[in-house]
Chains A and B, each alone.
Chain A
Amino acid sequence: MKRFKSLMVGVLSAALAFTAVGCSSSSGGDAQVLNIYSWADNFDPDVIADFEQKFNVKVNYDVYGSNEEMLAKIQAGASGYDLIQPSDYMVATMIELGLLEEINKENVPNLKNIVSTFQTPPFDPGNKYSIVYTWGITGIAYNKNYVKEQPTSWNDLWKDEYKGRVILLNDPREVMGMALIKNGFSNSSTNKTELETAFADMKTLMPNVIAFDTDNIKQKMIAEEAWIGSVWSGDAAYIQAENANVDYVIPKEGATIWADTMAIPKGAKNKELAEKFINYLMDPEVSVKNYESIGYSNPNEQAYPLHSEEYRSNKMIFLDPADIARAEWLVDVGETLQEYDRYWTEMKSGR
């Protein structure tokens, strides 16, 4: 979900991986190796180092910039990875395509620490193949200097006074999902009339849009180029830390909730080690250290009392349960994805 940064980090870590391989072969290295394929900056480096020391193993960490990039590599087979972190809808797709190993629950007793709602997500009820790792909600971030009244509804983005100042995620599912929710439909609708309504509505929003951006949306809000827009809760927390004028709200109509998960690709060589690592990350104390470092919402209920006051009082990280209740997961829409893409293209072509 951090594509640009991860690209850069990807190049660097690829270079590092080469040197790492060189090192391990010279030292003989009979330690077990855990190969992780994930988003950039998704772990506290200290937490990984602790794990390596405690269990006398080595961790390799490669990064990808999009779910589709990861999918392509796993689908090609023999990727050599033991742990991957697909997002919600991608978990469902990978289950359908038979690309994930079932997680052996006996090896991950700490699963009980995870908030109960995340133990039954619609994309993988019962956590058979995946466990929620980071999560957030796409709400409205706004700059109080320009947006005088606190927004309450997605309708507020359509106000004339925000002409050329609204920023949206550069993602067809997120944007169409927002317009669907605004019109009272499901964010994963496959109904043609509903999609048509949402699309017609989106067209009227275009004059207000300054840009579509996912990788660099934070910079555009911090530099006050954009005044208001759809932003992930974790990104909103980052923006507010850099620009105190920015606040965040989850609209009354509801919003899209998303998660990146921990999963094991089919044919992983070190499945048990991957399960050991998953279990380790769900240890309350480890998770406190980990999540305060990466700045994302922790799904670990047992860890809540252990978190710092600063982390707990951040409403973009500790989201209101009432808001979570209104949020809806994106689910795979199958063949209708082509329709979404066509609407997306037509919207951007300005015709």
Chain B
Amino acid sequence: MKTKRIKLLALPTLVWMGALFVLPMILMLVLSFLTRGTYGQVVYQFTIDNYIRIFDPLYGLIFWDTLVVAVLTTVFSILCGYPLAYYISRLDKSKQQIWLLLVMIPFWINFLVRSYAWVIILRSQGVVNTLLQWLGIIDEPLTLLYNSGSVLVGMVYTLLPFMVLPIYVSLEQMDHRKLEAAYDLGATPLKAFWHVTLPMTKPGVVTGSILVFVSSIGMFVVPDVMGGAKSALIGNVIQNQFLSARDWPFGSALSIVLMLLSMLLILLYFKATQAGEAKEGSA
């Protein structure tokens, strides 16, 4: 009786997900086995050529480049996000709320607008260069934009909240008595952090990493706006299939492969982190 009622409550969401998530997915899978017509229309003729085309070494290299960027983004997000989450979790409750609000406020502003704001800050006549020149630190404007460094800055900036919030939640849920126990037993703050806090907040780091990784692997706006559209990441290649090459079947095939690849990597990541946990548990 009770579960039935709960099921009823979940029904709208299930229908919603079914219509907007599962259906497009099926559509994409079907499309990926169809043929592109001469004028870019979809021809209903079965083929696996779209998948064979992906084995062109060029696309392999692009998948690799995309992975490197996604992994770097995730690592830098942990390095920047963990200390911030840790700091916030140590504040008074009222101050915590202000800080959490500050972390989330950028979400209220359109993501494209925020990326262009970075362009205004970093461009050759931008805020940073003008300030440095005015202070006499540099003579010529520095090239801060349109390279792989600025793409990374943009990606980490955009995705950082996805890392901070889950880590903050697991820091909040941590049992502080265990930390006190560690201190009582003579652990240095560093040791206590390494052996108590870090392992206990691992679920937050894992969740944050997956959110950041998955979001960055399909990203195409940041490389376009902050990288000057000079690099080809897989998200850009897919976008081009729909917006310039008019090759929906190939774009769909690339999307399917990208999805399978990220699912595989997440699975491996889960396995690796769980294996670590099991070892700790038995020790």
Residue ranges of A at the interface with B (Cβ–Cβ < 8 Å): 4, 7, 66, 68-69, 71, 75, 93, 96-97, 164, 170-173, 206, 209-213, 216, 223-225, 332, 334-335, 337-338, 340-342, 344-346, 348-351
A223 and B237 in contact, given A351-B58, A351-B61 (Cβ under 8 angstroms): no
Question: Smallest distance from the beta carbon of A53 to chain B beta carbons, Å?
Answer: 36
CB-defined A-B contacts under 8 Å, sample of 11: A93-B39, A93-B40, A223-B125, A225-B125, A334-B38, A335-B36, A337-B246, A341-B241, A341-B245, A345-B237, A345-B240
Question: Smallest distance from the beta carbon of B229 to chain A beta carbons, Å?
Answer: 4
Question: Smallest distance from the beta carbon of B28 to chain A beta carbons, Å?
Answer: 14
Residue ranges of B at the interface with A (Cβ–Cβ < 8 Å): 36, 38-41, 56, 58-59, 61-62, 65, 112, 116, 123-125, 143, 145-146, 224-225, 228-232, 236-237, 240-247, 250
A340–B247 alpha-carbon span in the complex (Å) = 12
Beyond A224-B124, A337-B246, A349-B232, 4 additional pairs, beta carbon < 8 A: A211-B146, A225-B125, A341-B241, A345-B237
State whether B58 touches A224 (Cβ < 8 A). no
CB-CB under 8 A from A97, the residues of chain B are 39, 41
Most A-side CB within 10 Å, residue of B41, B123, B146, B236: B146
Closest residue of A by beta carbon distance from B224: A170
Main secondary structure of the interface of A (DSSP, over half): helix
The answer, among B41, B224, B247, for a CB contact under 8 Å with A341, is: B247
Closest residue of A by beta carbon distance from B242: A68
State whether B246 touches A342 (Cβ < 8 A). no
State whether A344 touches B230 (Cβ < 8 A). no
State whether A348 touches B41 (Cβ < 8 A). no
A340 and B245 in contact, given A210-B146, A211-B230 (Cβ under 8 angstroms): yes
A12–B168 alpha-carbon span in the complex (Å) = 37
Most A-side CB within 10 Å, residue of B36, B241, B243: B243
CB-CB under 8 A from A164, the residues of chain B are 143
The answer, among B38, B59, B124, B236, for a CB contact under 8 Å with A348, is: B236
State whether B146 touches A346 (Cβ < 8 A). no
A173 and B244 in contact, given A342-B58, A345-B232 (Cβ under 8 angstroms): yes
